[in-house]
Structure 1
Amino acid sequence: MSTALIWVNGQPQSELLVSDRGLAYGDGLFETIRVSNGLSTLAALHWERLVQGCRRLAINLNLAELTREVDAFLASASVETGVLKVTVTRGSGGRGYNPEDCHDIRRILSIHSLPIRDPDPSICGAKLFACQLRLGQSALAGIKHLNRLEQVMARSEWSGTAYDEGLVCDFSGHVIEGTMSNLFVVAHNGELITPDLSFSGVKGVCRQFIMSIAHEMGLVVSERHLAESRLADIATELFLCNSVNGVWPVVEYNQRNWEVGPVTLELRRRVQEELNA
């Protein structure tokens, strides 16, 4: 699949002004959405998070306009499966941080191929790298803003195919997330735990979906601080998730092997059904 198809504000375009604040300051947000059978999956949750992020950044997004453009874009692309990237920036303004003269936001759409991994961690399980980078407290915690330099630095800590993903902690030693995914722990008592992201990290769409269906399954679900040093004592199962790859069971982390358990398998099945709708 070509990645040359790009729309900006509803029109085919291949260039972006160097004055755009998304480029200059990371002043914007993005969503990465799996496309199946020509349709955006988990779309309502993606749009909800995007609207919340725009509200936090005081970017005046017209969601109805954006979703009309997305529908037209996907129809034009004639893509059955792939990855839709939706980027919203504050637009262009003068040099400097003050955004008060920026009024015309930019909505950027692009389509990409689904990532292919061999072997597939969703089937074989993921091996995790213990990242040294630490995430600090952020006023932007939770939202998917454009400044992903911490994730870039964390992902740069390993190369090759020995690891599928890296796990990142905060300065207090609490597990926060993967470089591109959220973490869940199945505790010995059956409780499903995911890290508290009140101060750092991204509240993923797939994470939110899993918490919802886990409640429907009758699982006790909690968000709380998880000390990295206590993972081996707390967890019987570990898994990662994001809205493109679905659920990856964790089979190896920090010199410890993990079994792929029944809770992970059931949640993986339900997420995959949703992503392949």
Structure 2
Amino acid sequence: MSARIFSGEREAAGIDPANRGLAYGDGLFETMRVHRAGVPLWSRHLARLREGARRLRIALPSADFIEARIADAIAGCDAGVLKLLLTRGEGGRGYAPPAAAEPVWLLSRHALPASPAAGLRLHWCEMRLASQPALAGIKHCNRLEQVLARAEAEAAGCDEGLLRGIAGDAIGATSANLLVLHGGRWLTPPVDACGVAGVLRGWLLERGLAEVADLAPDAVESADAVALCNAVRGILPVASLGARAWAPHPAFNELRSGLAMAYPMFAEDRGAA
């Protein structure tokens, strides 16, 4: 991993112990796929980052400056993952945000995770996602629900954990959005009370390839096919959820082929998944 840290538009040597992201999770992050020294989904990540900064009232460096630093960070990188972490900056003890804090943010580059050799095994998590519309959709840094849920899934010997909201409907996996096939239509849960509005989920919705619908657990388990999607790994098939198993479905291949035509980086992953 390589990383660079910035305070506003000045490079910094490290993270101050008084950083509010460290103390309170007062910040945002984006995890992006790098392909041939570029970030093909950058405009979508930037839009979500801007929305998150607006909601949390965190100052954001200029897009030109961020983009220049991203270009530096991924120069010569054919395939990988880039994480952008934005915090409000330094502040004293206590929750009240400083009136004029300078944002502190960092860029870190990581290896691309291997594509799974088979469909994913999912586990229904006991952990529930709390409802908070003010934070729903954005990628804020308070992720303890996902941390505990992922630990549940790993303890169960599964690849991912499937999370429900307080009311009991499915919301998504710990690090991916949920796609469920019913009657030839791909459905994905709403994320206006909790969960993350993934950039690939948004792409699918804009093109009419998926639609938003409430999904009770039995609607997931009775689906013709289930998949997960995120910006790093694309669209991945689900093979099982507890005792329920799914065989490969032609509609999944059609959906992933459409994504690969728009974003060729995901075509390169298809053989291994």
Q: TM-score, normalised by structure 1?
A: 0.88
Worse overlay, 154-163 or 59-68: 154-163
Match of 1:269 among 252, 257, 263: 257
Matching of residues 30-109 of structure 1 within 5 Å: 30-61=29-60, 62-75=62-75, 78-109=76-107
Per-residue CA distance 1:50-103 (angstroms, 9 max, x = gap): 01111111112122321222122223xx32211000011111111111113342
2:37 and 2:71 in contact (8 A); partners too: no
Match of 1:149 among 144, 147, 158: 144
Per-residue CA distance 1:203-226 (angstroms, 9 max, x = gap): 11111122234x2xxx5x321211
Percent identity (aligned):
38
| Ranges in structure 2 where 5+ consecutive residues have no aligned partner | 267-273
> Residue 258 of structure 1 aligns with which residue?
246
> Residue 17 of structure 1 aligns with which residue?
16
Distance (Å, rounded) in 2 between the aligned partners of 1:60 and 1:5: 21
Q: Is 1:183 the counterpart of 2:178 in the alignment?
A: yes
1:7 corresponds to which letter in structure 2?
I
Matching of residues 224-243 of structure 1 within 5 Å: 224-233=213-222, 235-243=223-231
1:141 corresponds to which letter in structure 2?
A
1:171 corresponds to which letter in structure 2?
I
Q: What is the CA distance between 1:109 and its match in structure 2?
A: 0.5
Q: What is the CA distance between 1:161 and its match in structure 2?
A: 8.8
Q: 1:276 to 1:14 in 2, by over 3 A?
A: farther
Q: 1:160 to 1:115 in 2, by over 3 A?
A: farther
2:19 and 2:91 in contact (8 A); partners too: yes
> Residue 111 of structure 1 aligns with which residue?
109
Distance (Å, rounded) in 2 between the aligned partners of 1:272 and 1:35: 15
Q: TM-score, normalised by structure 2?
A: 0.89
**SS of the residue aligned with 2:188?**
strand
How many residues align? The count is 262
2:5 and 2:107 in contact (8 A); partners too: yes
2:153 and 2:160 in contact (8 A); partners too: no
**SS of the residue aligned with 2:137?**
coil
